[in-house]
């Protein structure tokens, strides 16, 4: 299962431009499968772009966890989000954390702290610079930095490589299942 969450970050430019950082990690290995930045506020188009790039590189997970942000998951509001439709089309079941239970995405939230510190230390002034910082961060985070939440002093990349992945078989999940879930709230 992968986790996606976004956060706002203010660039170090004279206009104090705010960007959105999307952080996408594998739940069990903590492997960062596709964090990236976008110029616009959190939205489904950028979220799908980030997720699609990760899927192209690492395959389709069976499940996908997000918070209840409108860019990610609208089922608790009785609707269906574009990201949910995209994931179902790939054979991946979108789930969201329970409202008022931020610990569900605790790993991702904790990861935000580290990435914020890295971005602050490098002081990007453009989205392109922020993306470059994030790419370098992902490389170090995944391959060079041992993760305290993993056994045996492993890096997330070592954990990812050692894990037995069970990707989706790619069979699309009928949108009707999403509609039934949304209607149940």
For residue 93, the model assigns a pLDDT of 96
Where is average pLDDT lowest: 13-22, 101-110, 136-145? 101-110
Per-residue pLDDT at 46: 97
Strand extents, DSSP E, 15-148:
18-26, 36-38, 63-66, 93-96
Give the C-alpha separation, 94 to 69, whole Å. 13
The confidence band for 8, taking pLDDT boundaries of 50, 70 and 90, is very high
Query: Which pLDDT does position 108 carry in this prediction?
Result: 65
Confidence of residue 18 (pLDDT cuts 50, 70, 90): very high
Tell me: the pLDDT tens digits for 67-122? 888 999 988 888 899 999 999 999 999 998 766 655 556 666 778 889 999 999 99
Q: How far is CA 41 from the centre of its chain?
A: 15
41 Cβ contact list (under 8 Å, min separation 6): 8, 18, 20
Higher pLDDT, residue 146 or 43? 43
Q: What is the pLDDT, as a whole number, of residue 3?
A: 92
Which has more pLDDT, 21 or 103? 21
Confirm if 47 and 72 have CB atoms less than 8 A apart. Answer: yes
- Tell me which of 48-62, 79-93, 135-149 is least confident: 135-149
Of residues 167 and 147, more confidently modeled: 167
């Amino acid at each position: 299962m992968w986790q996606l969450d976004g956060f706002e970050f203010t660039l170090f430019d004279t206009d104090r431009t705010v960007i959105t950082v999307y952080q996408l990690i594998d739940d069990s290995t903590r492997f960062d499968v596709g964090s990236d930045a976008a110029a616009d506020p959190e939205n489904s188009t950028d979220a799908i772009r980030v997720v699609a790039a990760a899927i192209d590189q690492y395959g389709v997970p069976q499940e996908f966890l997000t918070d209840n942000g409108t860019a990610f998951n609208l089922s608790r509001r009785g609707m269906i989000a574009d990201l949910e439709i995209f994931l179902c089309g790939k054979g991946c079941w979108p789930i969201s954390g329970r409202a008022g239970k931020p610990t569900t995405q605790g790993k991702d939230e904790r990861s935000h702290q580290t990435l914020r510190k890295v971005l602050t230390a490098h002081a990007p002034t453009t989205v392109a610079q922020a993306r470059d910082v994030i790419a370098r961060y992902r490389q170090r985070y995944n391959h060079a930095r041992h993760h305290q939440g993993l056994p045996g002093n492993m890096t997330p990349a070592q954990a990812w490589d050692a894990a037995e992945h069970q990707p989706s078989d790619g069979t699309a999940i009928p949108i009707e299942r999403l509609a039934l879930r949304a209607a149940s709230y």
